[in-house]
Each structure stands twice: as C-alpha cells, then as structure tokens.
Structure 1
Amino acid sequence: MSDNPFGRVITAMVTPMHDDGSIDFDGLQRLAVHLADHGHDGLLVNGTTGESATTTDDEDYDAVGAVVEAVGDRVAVMAGCGTNDTEHSIRAATEMVKRGADTLLVVTPYYNKPTQHGIVEHFRMIAEAADRPVMAYDIPGRTGTALATDTIRRLAEIPGLRAVKDAKGDLFEASRLMAETDLLWFSGDDVLNLAFLALGATGIVSVVGHVAGDDYRAMIDAVDAGDLPRAREIHTRLIPAIDAIMHTSQGAIQVKAALKMQGLLGSDQLRMPLLQGPPEHQDKLRKGLAASGLA
C-alpha cells in the first residue's frame, strides 16, 4: 500500500461545537490528536459527519487548517470539497489545498441529478483544478444518484482520481471494479468494513472509528496477515457499538454523544436540523459502547 496517499484507517471527523453552535477549533485539534494516537493514518475533515451541509465555506477552510496544524505531520488529511455545484467545488478544493489538505473527497453531485457523463466531467474538472489525489464518494442513499459501473471505469481513467469511498453496498460490483481498475477502494459503511477488507479493499472511511480506531487498525492488520478469525472476532465484538451509532438515529448525532460520554468533547452540540438524541438513544449508546468494550 506504499502508493496510497490517503491512509488506511480514516475517520470522517465530527466538527466539535460550543453550546452556542460556534465551532470549537481547540476541541477539533484535540480530537485530531486523539485519533492520530489511536490507530489512524488518515483523517477526513468536512465530510457529512462533520456537518458539512450546515457549515460555511470559511469554517470549512479553517477546520482543514486547524487539523493540518495539529496532526498534518502524522496523518494524511483529506478535505471534503464536493457539492452539487462544480465551480463551487473547484473553489473549495483550491482553498483547502492552500490550507494544507493532502487529498480531497468529492461526493457525487446531489439533488440536481446530473447525467453520468456530467458526473464524470464534474470529477474531472475538480481533479484537474486541485492537483491533489481525489477520492470519489459513492453514496446514492444521500445523493439520489449512484455511480454506475461504467462511470467508475471512466473515473479510473482520470489522472488524480485515485480512490472510491463505497457506501453503495454492492459487494459484487465493488469486487469486480477492484479487479478491473487500479482504484484504491475504501469501505464507506461501518457495517460492511470487514466484508470490504476481505474482498481486497485498501481501507475504511469510518464514523465508528472515532471510538474504535485501534480496533479497526487491528482488523486491517489481521486481514493483511490472513488471520480471518481474528478479524471476525473484532467485527463481532464491535457490532453493538456499530448498531448504536449507525442504526439508532444519525451518525454525527450518536458519535458526538459518545465522545462527550468519553470526555473527549465538552459538548455534543449540533447544528439544526440535527438535534441531540433523546434519553433512550443515549442509553442504547452507553450499552452498545460497553458491550463492545469501548465504554
């Protein structure tokens, strides 16, 4: 994996906030250091879990700069710059590179539902303008448009587009494309991390990694060593935590609550329309973390 600029254990970081909703940049840097200390060789700033839908461009740029300052010499810092506006995405990508981003995450354009040809050109224009390795993010459940298999084959021909974050969940098509292209493949769904790794994926872009970075590092090491029973044991132990974080309400909500419970965040504040979960969600979270040995 020496030609992998992204890392293998990557967490899509939450954006810590004060109780008034302003960004806690000191908390963001402390969290970045904690993750770098616990199994991570890559961090994603300004992804969906970072509440990118409700943060401003300037906040996004400052967040990238803060994480680069804190851990840029230790991990690869990836910046989420994709929107459904190509020119906006190019401006964001260019500025995030200036702030020190090593790589970029570009999501499939959402809501306006471009053609597959338009999607390819969107990625091409951003990759050419940014001059940094790009990871394409395929998550049709949020964007409304899946990257077709032939589209991903075309993306693989774009210089600079190096990887796919797969949250589509089609394991057969993923394995086909891993075999046919030289794209680096990343699980974008914690539920399927082990399945993707067993099929040959390079790594993971995780939400649960906020609390399970060391475990995911051990899982990847076990798969690399051919020790599937060990990897399966880690996966099985993490099921309650994954369920509590990913299947209860929404990842950012539950992860902020978990980090507050663990004393890693001072506040679990989110921006509307995201709200903190009710007591029963937090109770399930406490039980899930405890059952997975992460309390």
Structure 2
Amino acid sequence: MPIPTPLTGVVPPVCTPLTPEGEVDVDSLVALVDHLVAGGVHGLFVLGSTSEAAYLTDARRELVVRTVVAHVAGQLPVLAGVIDMTTPRVLDHVASVTAAGADAVVATAPFYTRTHPAEIARHYRLLAGRSTVPVLAYDLPASVHSKLPAELVLELAADGTLSGLKDSSGDLAAFRSVVTGARALHGAAFSVLTGSELTVDSALALGADGAVPGLANVDPEGYVRLDRLCRAGDWPRARAEQERLCALFGMVGAGDPARMGGSSSGLGAFKAALYLRGVIACPATAEPQVPLSADEVARVGKYLAGAGLL
C-alpha cells in the first residue's frame, strides 16, 4: 500500500524471531505482527537495527519481508531496511525488498569508509532513481560513523529524493532543525520520525510526525497511547506514560556488561520480554551475540511486571 504522506504515528522496528538454530521463526514473526497490529500501530519497519538485519543473510532478509507483507495484506504500510556498506550493495537490497512487496525503503549513509556529504547525497539520489517506492534516510551515527547533516537531509527532502527521516542519532537539537526545516518545505511529502524510546513526547512536542521505538515491540499499546495523548495535547498524561515507558526501557541493561555488549543485552531483553509475554517461541538472538542467562531473563520479567505487562 502507498505510505501516507506524511507517515505518522507509531511504526515499530519489528524484531526478527529466530529458532535455536538461527533460522527465521516464521510462525513467531507472524504472531509478533499480530501482536503489533492488535496494539494499534500505524506501520511496520522490518530489517532495521532492532530486526538484527545486519546479522541476517540476504535470503533471510527476503523471507522476513515476504512474510510480513503477505500477512499484513495491506492493513498497514511496511517499510524495509536496505542497510549495507556501499551503494551497489544497497541497490541490490532495494530490488529485493521491493520485489518482496515493501512499501518504502529505509537506508543509512554508506559506511565502512568515511563518506563526504556530497557522496552521501549521491548515494541517496542513486537509490531514489532506482527505487519504485519512497526512500527514507536512517540517521544512525553510532553504527554508520557518520551523522547526516540537517541541511543535507532538508536539501534531499526539498528535491524529492527523500520521503522521510528516521533519526536515531540522539541529537535532539539537530532533530529539531530537521523538523523546523521540514515545515518550510511547503507541502513536500516528508516524514520526520524519532527512533528514540525515551523522548517520544519531546519529539512530538517539537512537531515530529511519529516514532520508531524498538520497545514498541514489547508494549505497542503504550506507545500508541503516548502518541494519542501527545496529539490530544494532554501533556501531563503523556509525560506520565513516557516516564512509565522509560522505566520499562531499563530492561535493556539486564545483561551483564562484563560478558556482553549493549546490543546483545538490549536485543536480548526485547526478545526475552516477547518470549515471557507469550508472543514468540524462543528468545534467541543471532550469532555472535551473547544470550541472556536465566537470571537476566528473570530480571527482564521484573521490568515487565513493574509496567503491568506480566
């Protein structure tokens, strides 16, 4: 289905359930999509960071997109990440996910080598020239080692190259510059989405169109409620809901930093929470991420209980 212009609301970056052997658990993926749709979300983003896209083979990426597109059957727009190091590799992913039915693609800047803003602009223009669906930029400097300059994003929005931005930079001032600049585009079809779990109320207050929070896998109803309260201007209740979600987000620290990285802990916590809630069959994360221990999974359960989700 065509994505709304602008795309608004809660668009979770969908986790990819895996079997103990590391294959995509199709039945659990379908159950997770049902869980998110029942929670009232406004779109789905597959093959992002929370989806563990970097760990999936091309065949598994394609399976994820085809499964979600087929199951959603046009109820919601499905955005697909096309994250890879260089433009030729990303173009291959664009062809694959659009053939699988994605309604939009989401791309970071090229990475591995540092890239000049002019080369980043060329990258996105080449993608837009070859893509049959809208292209959104993904600002992820922690992984890409390159911050997308606000002025570059706005230039590409103004000329129609980009249809939106998912901002996971953590730079609220730069995010505000994009939101403010997007208002001056006078009707250009451009969506500004925050990737933060912790500042959705602030982003919406600034004028963002929506949010792409990984924690929405665990509590989609909470983020949909937060979005609704913000749009109604009920800021005291919105703040209370955001603070509840911030407390729930504490689960990402359940893993012991002495034996695992932050990604293992955070993604492991999301999957453990979905497993404990009965949404997915197995909390496995992709190799070489370290799995949570039984005690760490129990710690995740305490966060769920504290948020009224268990």
Same fold (TM over 0.5): yes
- Give the equivalent residue in structure 1 for 2:274: 259
- Does the CA contact (< 8 Å) of 1:41 and 1:74 recur in 2? no
State the shift of 1:72 in Å. 3.2
Q: What is the alpha-carbon root mean square deviation over aligned residues?
A: 1.8
- Give the equivalent residue in structure 2 for 1:282: 297
| Residue 155 of structure 2 is aligned to residue 154 of structure 1 | yes
- Give the equivalent residue in structure 2 for 1:127: 128
Q: 1:269 aligns with which of 265, 268, 284?
A: 284
- After TM superposition, the score normalised by the length of structure 1 is 0.94
- After superposition, where does 1:20-99 map in structure 2 within 5 Å? 20-99=21-100
| Residue 221 of structure 2 is aligned to residue 220 of structure 1 | no
Distance across 2 between alignment mates of 1:246 and 1:133:
35
Distance across 1 between alignment mates of 2:20 and 2:4:
42
- Structure 2's unaligned 5+ residue stretches are 256-261
State the shift of 1:160 in Å. 4.5
The AA in structure 2 aligned to 1:73 is G
- Give the equivalent residue in structure 2 for 1:144: 145
- Give the equivalent residue in structure 2 for 1:175: 176
- After TM superposition, the score normalised by the length of structure 2 is 0.89
What SS is found at the alignment partner of 1:155? helix
State the shift of 1:278 in Å. 2.8
- Does the CA contact (< 8 Å) of 2:254 and 2:299 recur in 1? no
1:164-218 per-position Cα deviation (integer Å, ceiling 9, x unaligned): 1111122222222212224321111112222111111111111100121111111
Distance across 1 between alignment mates of 2:53 and 2:85:
13
- After superposition, where does 1:180-191 map in structure 2 within 5 Å? 180-181=181-182, 182=185, 183-191=190-198
State the shift of 1:88 in Å. 1.3
Distance across 2 between alignment mates of 1:225 and 1:109:
39
- Give the equivalent residue in structure 2 for 1:203: 210
- Does the CA contact (< 8 Å) of 2:79 and 2:103 recur in 1? yes
- Does the CA contact (< 8 Å) of 2:178 and 2:192 recur in 1? no
- Does the CA contact (< 8 Å) of 1:80 and 1:106 recur in 2? yes
Distance across 1 between alignment mates of 2:140 and 2:113:
15
Distance across 2 between alignment mates of 1:21 and 1:5:
36
State the shift of 1:7 in Å. 4.6
What SS is found at the alignment partner of 1:276? coil
Residues 1:257 and 1:85: Cα distance change in structure 2 (over 3 Å):
same
Q: 2:248 aligns with which of 241, 246, 254?
A: 241
Further displaced range: 185-194 or 175-184: 175-184
State the shift of 1:268 in Å. 1.0
- Does the CA contact (< 8 Å) of 1:9 and 1:217 recur in 2? yes
- Does the CA contact (< 8 Å) of 2:108 and 2:139 recur in 1? yes
- Give the equivalent residue in structure 2 for 1:9: 10
Distance across 1 between alignment mates of 2:253 and 2:103:
28
The AA in structure 2 aligned to 1:289 is L
- Give the equivalent residue in structure 2 for 1:229: 236
- Does the CA contact (< 8 Å) of 2:254 and 2:300 recur in 1? no
- Does the CA contact (< 8 Å) of 2:81 and 2:106 recur in 1? yes
How many residues in Structure 1 have an aligned counterpart in Structure 2?
294
Q: Indicate the percent of aligned positions where both proteins have the same amino acid.
A: 29
Distance across 1 between alignment mates of 2:138 and 2:191:
12
- Structure 1's unaligned 5+ residue stretches are none
- Does the CA contact (< 8 Å) of 1:7 and 1:75 recur in 2? no
Distance across 2 between alignment mates of 1:179 and 1:52:
31
Runs of 4+, deviation exceeding 3 Å = 246-249
